[in-house]
């Protein structure tokens, strides 16, 4: 199932890149170039997804002695559930949040901000780290990193095409109106694909975390605190394209429009689903 999700995402985002390439070049030449770029991005994301995300957040991989509390909680979850022990990292940010990355369970990293450890008690922190390890277990981490990387490139290419059409450097075989339309809709389509995958995986990770710890109430309590804290003080590091990887949306304000297009499901719905367990 995880393989099918990954293949489907690769296919749709690569197809979108090829369309942008065709419109930008006005010929099949653009399709070939953007196909090669898509393959290169996919391969790079597969092998270096963890390094990309850790560097974006300034995260540092730790050992047990660096933070016995966080390291011990992650090891407890892994040992009790027969999961590979992931690397553990800390993000130097006072905003409480957490994420996971890596191409598979054997090459995974779970990360937490310094702020989350000061806001949550041990049971709540265990629920959060179980959620991140659930993403690893369900192989969501590679899917989301690839989505973020390709979506970011599509946005960059669309911006270049927009400016090219504005300043007369457009391809004469393509109507400028079509170039502008694609420049606007391609990044939106890439984001909507990323959002759809992210939202469905959050529900699944919540449910898996509840089973890993047998403490759905702890995760519910943690989510409530994190929702409030991130609303009050958004995360001050990382990239918007990687926001989907965090346990709660680290970038949003609170208005309806932003929530509607958030990479995360509404917190009320996540909590209601957990309360059913």
Mean pLDDT of 3-7: 62
Most confident range, picked from 10-24, 33-47, 88-102: 88-102
pTM > 0.75: yes
Asked if the model's pLDDT at residue 132 lies above 90, the reply is yes
Residue 81: which pLDDT band, with cuts at 50, 70 and 90?
very high
58 or 141, greater pLDDT: 58
* 132 carries an active-site annotation: yes
* Of the listed ranges 71-75, 95-99, 179-183, the one predicted with least confidence: 179-183
What pLDDT, on the 0 to 100 scale, is given for residue 176? 63
Residue 26 φ/ψ region, left for φ over 0, alpha for ψ in the -120 to 50 degree band, beta for the rest: left
Mean pLDDT across the chain: 81
Asked if the model's pLDDT at residue 255 lies above 50, the reply is no
Query: What is the enclosing helix (H) or strand (E) of 101?
Result: strand 98-101
pLDDT digits (tens, 9 = 90+) for 136-188: 998 887 777 667 667 777 777 777 666 666 655 555 555 666 666 766 777 77
What pLDDT, on the 0 to 100 scale, is given for residue 130? 97
Q: Catalytic residue, from 132, 202, 227, 229: name it.
A: 132
Report the domain count for the chain.
1
Asked if the model's pLDDT at residue 226 lies above 80, the reply is yes
Residue 274: which pLDDT band, with cuts at 50, 70 and 90?
very high
Under 8 Å CB-to-CB from 127, ≥6 apart: which residues? Answer: 209, 210, 213, 215, 216, 218, 219, 220, 221, 222
**What 3-state class would DSSP assign to 93?**
coil
Q: Is 252 exposed, middle or buried (0-12, 13-18, 19+ CB in 10 A)?
A: middle
| CB of 44 closer than 8 Å to CB of 76 | no
Q: Which domain holds residue 187?
A: 2-275
């Amino acid at each position: 199932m995880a393989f099918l999700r990954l293949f489907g995402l690769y296919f749709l985002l690569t197809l979108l890149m090829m369309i942008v390439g065709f419109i930008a070049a006005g010929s099949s030449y653009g399709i070939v170039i953007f196909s090669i770029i898509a393959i290169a991005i996919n391969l790079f994301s597969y092998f270096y997804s963890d390094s990309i995300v850790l560097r974006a957040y300034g995260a540092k991989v730790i050992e047990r002695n660096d933070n016995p509390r966080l390291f011990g909680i992650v090891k407890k979850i892994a040992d009790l559930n027969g999961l590979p022990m992931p690397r553990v990292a800390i993000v130097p940010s006072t905003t409480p949040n957490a994420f996971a990355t890596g191409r598979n369970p054997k090459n995974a990293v779970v990360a937490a901000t310094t702020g989350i450890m000061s806001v949550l008690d041990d049971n709540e922190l265990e629920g959060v780290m179980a959620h991140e390890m659930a993403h690893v277990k369900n192989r969501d981490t590679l899917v989301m990193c690839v989505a973020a990387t390709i979506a970011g490139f599509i946005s960059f290419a669309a911006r270049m095409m927009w400016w090219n059409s504005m300043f007369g450097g457009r391809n004469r075989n393509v109507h400028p109106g079509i170039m502008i339309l694609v420049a606007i809709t391609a990044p939106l389509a890439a984001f909507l694909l990323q959002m759809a995958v992210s939202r469905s995986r959050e529900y699944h990770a919540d449910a898996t975390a509840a089973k890993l710890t047998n403490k759905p109430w702890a995760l519910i309590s943690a989510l409530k605190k994190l929702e409030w804290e991130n609303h009050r003080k958004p995360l001050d590091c990382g990239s918007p394209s990687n926001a989907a990887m965090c346990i709660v949306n680290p970038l949003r304000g609170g208005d309806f429009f932003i929530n509607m297009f958030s990479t995360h499901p509404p917190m009320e719905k996540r909590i209601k689903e957990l309360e059913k367990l």
